[in-house]
């Protein structure tokens, strides 16, 4: 794979990612560089990928998440760790099942028509065809995953782990089956967990309804935001210490519309201060009412079916959709004179995170994980710092969630997923929880046994991902070597879904934390800070970006300016900046290579021939290596890239390459080989530091440079080298560069073209500084267009009319008449003056016209006023400058 000497100078004129990226990726794969071997001499470094859904197509969020992981992985690999990045995909039960159902609908088929077995055949076929798509897209992104270890949440090994966990938790009493209020999505037709419910502020009403007290004793008024649930009311509750209702407790009220008699109960759950202090109790449709119902032995009446239509318990409203039922019920109450008032009310409404449908809390028999005992060690391990969140503030969010955790509803009324390993006896009702279906009931011997039809929440299997992928429950060598993993990289939006569940699962089943760091990044927004969405049409497709600008440019744009935990603004400008950077690197590298000897021999370089410029750049990249390493250790990836970018662009390309040109152009110059050596070394080191961020261009350049390795991927990460630490040379070069920069600034301010050379008189009191500047005269001539440089210890004899620049330790004077042509400059300024006078007159006329000021839009008047201020300022400056130049001309004239 190494290129030979002839090829070195034939490096392409321009950088074309298309000619490079796929070729290099294929070579890396063929060489096995991504594959991790267990090597006890090396410290392991492991990341498990957040498995993308098989329904997924690479979006910017994935691109960001995986770029960050690849940076960490490539860096640690170069540092010599036993590095594993374990990839895989998630079966994504709800999302995938929805796709299959959609596809079937086009053929006029439903799940019930084809049955479970046929449905699963279709799902697996779908997975076979589309499941690998996102993996191929991750490869386009340059991800250096160990593809030999790719896993899938429903592959054989992981499915065994899922069953094992279910059985163990069931036997410990940590998984139970019970009736609870769950979040029901009528569209997805399944229960979903609390974490999957999104809360939105919605405008609604508080309906105040009169419930007549039996035997004509007046009314009790309750308020509700969901009147349709009243059909399932089984009580009215008041606070036991509420004086207003003392006499009412124990009495009976008549449920309007249903004419059902229900009791008034006293319960401390009721808030005396809220509303009327009396609340309706609907145990089958509200989690709090459910608890009240249990305390008072109230019946549970479900009034809706799975599609959120009113059912047979809803009397005359049976068959109506819940929204229509609400409308009719309110109407009927009004007719009966039982609606006291309707009060507009903004309240939080739970919606399904997948489809956005309003969730219907409903009673249901489901499987649950008992969370409190599992949460304890998961809280402790974050409190004691064994797991650290980056940035730290997310630990508080995590802890707050875990400390208030509710039991986790894990059963889903779906077919695609891990089927619950519970078997029910049709005779005696015994539940057997086993790996395989028992032949007969262990209790009564009956052969009438059915498996639970439900599947497990997708997150049940992804919670096991850090150890199930390494072979658990077997004690595999992989598990021993690579677990616990090192870093989990993820966006903040799945801390509860996934991160929290991996932590308690790791603690419960492995007895150890699943990872040491949780590196949280933000979500991608557009340049205006809005979320990227289909409806706004502001999304950027990473695959299109790769096609157009190359992967390195995309990765650059996702990393630069990125700080842990914060959202990232993405724009084509950033991608273009990445592409421009790649081009800058390419052009500088090409220049370096073109100026190498045919057979450069660096074994005989003489460090004594290093110039200050050589020592400065060697010292600078030395410092850069140390700083970048430090930034990476702290997960400051954006800052690390910013430093590398500035070093390559400014210090290396704009300064050093310019400084060494004369030594390269002159074949006989002293220290020519040394210059080539330094160029090769610094460029090579810079490419290594940049490699994790922009893997392709760095590899391509590295191979053209003189080096011993065959790939930058397996080269050594640059370390700080004592012998390349030159603080004195750095200080001297800083002075020279500062002086050159200030001369350039003066010239730019005065619009002096490079063709016009001017003397520079530099006054520096310190003798050493004078020596330094004196020794760099050739740099001033080439980089600051100085015709001549004079060094002086004091100001004696410096030109009177000179442009001046002051830098720490020195003052620089450039005779004005050498910088500009007085006559021409005065002429130009006079023209400018006349134009400004005309403009001022125009604006003044407009603003002096009362009808304009009165009639024009305020914004237009404001603009004119701003213009006036600006023109006045410019006018003053022109006058001042003209005065200065005129007096200069007359003093010169007088001197003659
Ligand atoms: Zn839904
Ligand atoms: Zn039985």
Please tell me the number of the ligand nearest to residue 442's CA.
2
pLDDT of residue 817: 81
Phi, psi of 711 (to 5 degrees): -155, 140
Q: pLDDT by residue (tens digit) across 34-91? A: 999 999 999 999 999 999 999 888 899 999 999 999 999 999 999 999 999 999 999 9
Q: pLDDT by residue (tens digit) across 549-560? A: 999 999 999 999
What is the pLDDT confidence band of residue 767, given thresholds at 50, 70 and 90? very high
What is the pLDDT confidence band of residue 386, given thresholds at 50, 70 and 90? very high
pLDDT of residue 888: 74
Mean predicted confidence (pLDDT) in 154-158: 96
147 half-sphere exposure, CB direction, 13 A CA radius: 16
Asked if residues 364 and 192 have their Cβ atoms less than 8 Å apart, the reply is: no
Mean predicted confidence (pLDDT) in 116-123: 96
Give 448 Cα–ligand 2 centroid separation in angstroms.
Answer: 8
Please tell me the number of the ligand nearest to residue 443's CA.
2
CA distance 748 to 741: 10
Please tell me the number of the ligand nearest to residue 431's CA.
2
Please tell me the number of the ligand nearest to residue 449's CA.
2
pLDDT of residue 667: 83
Give 410 Cα–ligand 2 centroid separation in angstroms.
Answer: 25
Give 434 Cα–ligand 2 centroid separation in angstroms.
Answer: 15
Please tell me the number of the ligand nearest to residue 445's CA.
2
The length of the chain in residues reads 896
Give 495 Cα–ligand 2 centroid separation in angstroms.
Answer: 42
In whole numbers, what is the pLDDT of the chain averaged over residues?
Answer: 92
CA distance 530 to 538: 8
DSSP assignment string, 810-843: EEEEEEHHHHS-HHHHHHHHHHHHHHHHHHHHHH
Please tell me the number of the ligand nearest to residue 358's CA.
1
Contacts of 12 (CB under 8 A, 6+ apart): 19
Predicted confidence (pLDDT) at residue 629 exceeds the cutoff of 70: yes
Mean predicted confidence (pLDDT) in 855-861: 88
CA distance 1 to 31: 10
CA distance 383 to 401: 13
CA distance 741 to 93: 61
Give 52 Cα–ligand 2 centroid separation in angstroms.
Answer: 42
710 half-sphere exposure, CB direction, 13 A CA radius: 5
Give 518 Cα–ligand 1 centroid separation in angstroms.
Answer: 29
Give 49 Cα–ligand 1 centroid separation in angstroms.
Answer: 26
Give 176 Cα–ligand 2 centroid separation in angstroms.
Answer: 19
Phi, psi of 805 (to 5 degrees): -135, 135
pLDDT of residue 3: 65
Q: How crowded is residue 856: how many other Cβ atoms within 10 Å of its Cβ?
A: 16
Give 47 Cα–ligand 1 centroid separation in angstroms.
Answer: 32
pLDDT of residue 895: 40
Give 736 Cα–ligand 1 centroid separation in angstroms.
Answer: 66
Give 18 Cα–ligand 2 centroid separation in angstroms.
Answer: 66
Predicted confidence (pLDDT) at residue 528 exceeds the cutoff of 70: yes
Please tell me the number of the ligand nearest to residue 190's CA.
1
Give 349 Cα–ligand 1 centroid separation in angstroms.
Answer: 14
Contacts of 105 (CB under 8 A, 6+ apart): none
Predicted confidence (pLDDT) at residue 433 exceeds the cutoff of 60: yes
Strand order in the sheet with 431-433: 431-433, 422-425, 449-451
- Name 235's bridge partners: 281
pLDDT of residue 684: 97
Give 138 Cα–ligand 1 centroid separation in angstroms.
Answer: 28
Could you give the 3-state DSSP secondary structure of residue 363? strand
Give 396 Cα–ligand 1 centroid separation in angstroms.
Answer: 29
How large a percentage of the chain has pLDDT more than 90?
71
Please tell me the number of the ligand nearest to residue 427's CA.
2
Give 186 Cα–ligand 1 centroid separation in angstroms.
Answer: 7
Give 120 Cα–ligand 1 centroid separation in angstroms.
Answer: 21
Can you say whether the dihedral through the CA atoms of 715, 716, 717, 722 is positive or negative? negative
Structure tokens at 401: 């969630």
CA distance 94 to 96: 6
Phi, psi of 183 (to 5 degrees): -90, 115
Predicted confidence (pLDDT) at residue 535 exceeds the cutoff of 80: no
Give, rounded to a whole angstrom, the gap between the first and last alpha carbons of the chain: 73
Give 58 Cα–ligand 1 centroid separation in angstroms.
Answer: 23
Q: pLDDT by residue (tens digit) across 277-315? A: 999 999 999 988 998 998 888 999 999 998 899 999 999
Q: pLDDT by residue (tens digit) across 561-614? A: 999 999 999 999 999 999 999 999 999 999 999 998 878 888 889 999 999 999
pLDDT of residue 896: 37
Most confident of 75-79, 792-796, 821-825, 848-852: 75-79
Burial 376-395 (b: 16+ CB within 10 A, else e): eebbebbeeeebbbbeeebb
How large a percentage of the chain has pLDDT more than 70?
99
Mean predicted confidence (pLDDT) in 467-479: 97
What is the pLDDT confidence band of residue 4, given thresholds at 50, 70 and 90? low
**Range in 295-309, 524-538, 758-772 the model is least confident about:** 524-538
Please tell me the number of the ligand nearest to residue 186's CA.
1
Ion ligand 2: protein residues whose beta carbon lies under 5 Å = 425, 427-428, 430, 441, 443-444, 446
Asked if residues 461 and 505 have their Cβ atoms less than 8 Å apart, the reply is: no
Give 422 Cα–ligand 2 centroid separation in angstroms.
Answer: 13
pLDDT of residue 5: 62
DSSP tag of 405: P
Q: Among residues 405, 344, 336, 411, which one has the least CA distance to residue 377?
A: 405
Asked if residues 772 and 835 have their Cβ atoms less than 8 Å apart, the reply is: no
pLDDT of residue 801: 78
Q: pLDDT by residue (tens digit) across 865-882? A: 999 998 998 898 888 878
Give 351 Cα–ligand 1 centroid separation in angstroms.
Answer: 8
Please tell me the number of the ligand nearest to residue 450's CA.
2
CA distance 192 to 185: 7
Please tell me the number of the ligand nearest to residue 413's CA.
1
Asked if residues 71 and 693 have their Cβ atoms less than 8 Å apart, the reply is: yes
Give 117 Cα–ligand 2 centroid separation in angstroms.
Answer: 26
pLDDT of residue 1: 54
**Helix (H) or strand (E) segment spanning residue 873:** helix 858-895
Burial 313-351 (b: 16+ CB within 10 A, else e): bbeebeebebeebbebbbebbeeeebbbeeeeeeeebbb
Give 445 Cα–ligand 2 centroid separation in angstroms.
Answer: 6
Mean predicted confidence (pLDDT) in 669-694: 95
Predicted confidence (pLDDT) at residue 355 exceeds the cutoff of 50: yes
Asked if residues 72 and 489 have their Cβ atoms less than 8 Å apart, the reply is: yes
How is the chain split among helix, strand and coil, in percent rounded to 5? 50, 20, 30
Structure tokens at 385: 């710092």
Please tell me the number of the ligand nearest to residue 440's CA.
2
Give 357 Cα–ligand 1 centroid separation in angstroms.
Answer: 6
Question: C-alpha dihedral over 710, 716, 720, 721, to 10 degrees?
Answer: -50
């Amino acid at each position: 794979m190494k290129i030979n000497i002839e090829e070195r100078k034939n490096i392409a004129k321009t950088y074309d990612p298309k000619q490079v990226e796929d070729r290099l990726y294929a070579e890396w794969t063929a060489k096995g560089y991504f594959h991790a071997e267990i090597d006890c001499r090396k410290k392991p470094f492991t990341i498990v990928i957040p498995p993308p859904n098989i329904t997924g197509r690479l979006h910017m969020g994935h691109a960001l998440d995986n770029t960050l992981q690849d940076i960490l992985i490539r860096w640690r690999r170069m540092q010599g760790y036993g590095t594993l990045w374990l990839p895989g995909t998630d079966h994504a039960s709800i999302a995938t099942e929805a796709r299959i159902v959609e596809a079937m609908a086009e053929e006029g088929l439903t799940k019930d028509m084809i049955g479970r077995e046929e449905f699963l055949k279709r799902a697996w076929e779908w997975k076979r065809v589309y499941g690998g798509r996102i993996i191929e897209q991750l490869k386009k992104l340059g991800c250096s995953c160990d593809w030999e270890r790719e896993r899938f949440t429903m592959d054989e090994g992981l499915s065994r782990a899922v069953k094992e966990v279910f059985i163990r938790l069931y036997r410990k009493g940590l998984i139970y089956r019970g009736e609870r209020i769950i979040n029901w999505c009528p569209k997805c037709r399944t229960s979903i967990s609390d974490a999957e419910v999104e809360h939105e502020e919605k405008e609604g009403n508080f309906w105040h309804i009169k419930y007549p007290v039996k035997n004509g004793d007046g009314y009790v008024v309750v308020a509700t935001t969901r009147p349709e649930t009243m059909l399932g009311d089984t009580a009215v509750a008041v606070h036991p210490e509420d004086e207003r209702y003392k006499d009412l407790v124990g009495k009976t009220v008549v449920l309007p519309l249903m004419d059902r008699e229900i009791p008034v109960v006293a319960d401390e759950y009721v808030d005396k201060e809220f509303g009327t202090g009396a609340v309706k109790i609907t145990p089958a449709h509200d989690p709090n009412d459910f608890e009240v119902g249990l305390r008072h032995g109230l019946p549970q009446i479900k009034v809706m079916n799975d599609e959120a239509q009113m059912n047979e318990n809803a009397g005359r409203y049976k068959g109506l959709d819940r929204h229509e039922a609400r409308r009719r019920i309110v109407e009927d109450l009004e007719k009966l004179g039982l609606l006291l008032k309707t009060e507009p009310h903004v309240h939080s409404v739970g919606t399904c995170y997948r489809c956005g449908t309003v969730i219907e809390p409903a009673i249901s028999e489901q499987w649950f994980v008992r969370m409190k005992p599992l949460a304890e060690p998961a809280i402790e391990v974050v409190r004691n710092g064994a797991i650290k969140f980056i940035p730290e503030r997310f630990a508080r969010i995590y802890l707050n969630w875990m400390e208030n955790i509710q039991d986790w509803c894990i059963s889903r009324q779906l077919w695609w997923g891990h089927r619950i390993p519970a078997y029910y006896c049709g005779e005696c009702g015994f539940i057997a929880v086993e790996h395989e279906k028992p032949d007969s009931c262990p209790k009564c011997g009956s052969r009438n046994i059915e498996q639970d039809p439900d599947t497990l929440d997708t997150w049940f299997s992804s919670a096991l991902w850090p150890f199930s992928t390494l072979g658990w429950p077997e004690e595999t060598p992989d598990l021993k070597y690579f677990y616990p993993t090192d870093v989990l990289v993820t966006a903040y939006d799945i801390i509860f879904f996934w991160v929290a569940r991996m932590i308690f699962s790791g603690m419960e089943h492995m007895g150890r934390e699943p990872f040491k760091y949780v590196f949280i990044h933000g979500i991608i927004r557009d340049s205006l800070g809005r979320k990227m969405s289909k409806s706004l049409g502001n999304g950027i497709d990473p695959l299109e970006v790769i096609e157009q600008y190359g992967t390195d440019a995309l990765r650059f744009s996702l990393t630069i300016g990125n700080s842990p935990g914060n959202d990232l603004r993405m724009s084509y400008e950033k991608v273009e900046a990445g592409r421009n950077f790649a081009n800058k690197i390419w052009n500088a590298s090409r220049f370096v290579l073109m100026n190498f000897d045919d057979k450069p021999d660096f074994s005989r370089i003489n460090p004594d021939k290093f110039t200050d410029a050589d020592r400065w750049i060697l010292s600078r990249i030395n410092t850069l290596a140390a700083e970048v390493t430090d930034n990476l250790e702290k997960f400051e990836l954006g800052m690390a890239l910013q430093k590398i970018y500035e070093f390559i662009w400014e210090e290396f390309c704009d300064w050093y390459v310019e400084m060494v040109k004369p030594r390269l152009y002159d074949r006989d110059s002293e220290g020519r080989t040394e210059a080539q050596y330094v160029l090769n070394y610094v460029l090579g080191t810079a490419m290594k530091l940049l490699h994790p961020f922009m893997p392709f261009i760095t590899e391509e350049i590295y191979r053209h440079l003189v080096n011993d390795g065959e790939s930058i991927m397996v080269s050594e990460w640059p370390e700080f080298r004592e012998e390349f630490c030159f603080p004195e040379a750095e200080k001297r070069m800083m002075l020279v560069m500062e002086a050159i920069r200030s001369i350039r600034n003066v010239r730019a301010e005065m619009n002096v073209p490079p063709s016009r050379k001017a003397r520079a008189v530099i006054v520096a009191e310190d003798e050493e500084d004078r020596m330094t500047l004196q020794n760099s005269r050739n740099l001033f001539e080439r980089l600051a267009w100085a015709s001549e440089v004079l060094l002086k210890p004091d100001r004696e004899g410096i030109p009177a009319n000179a442009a001046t620049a002051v830098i720490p330790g020195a003052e620089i004077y450039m005779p004005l008449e050498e910088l500009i042509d007085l006559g021409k400059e005065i002429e130009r300024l006079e023209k400018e003056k006349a134009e400004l006078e005309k403009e001022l007159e125009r604006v003044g006329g407009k603003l002096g016209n009362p009808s304009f000021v009165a009639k024009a839009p305020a914004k237009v008047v404001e603009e004119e006023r701003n213009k006036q201020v600006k023109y006045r300022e410019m006018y003053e400056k022109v006058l001042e400058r003209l005065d200065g130049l005129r007096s200069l001309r007359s003093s010169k004239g007088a001197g003659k």
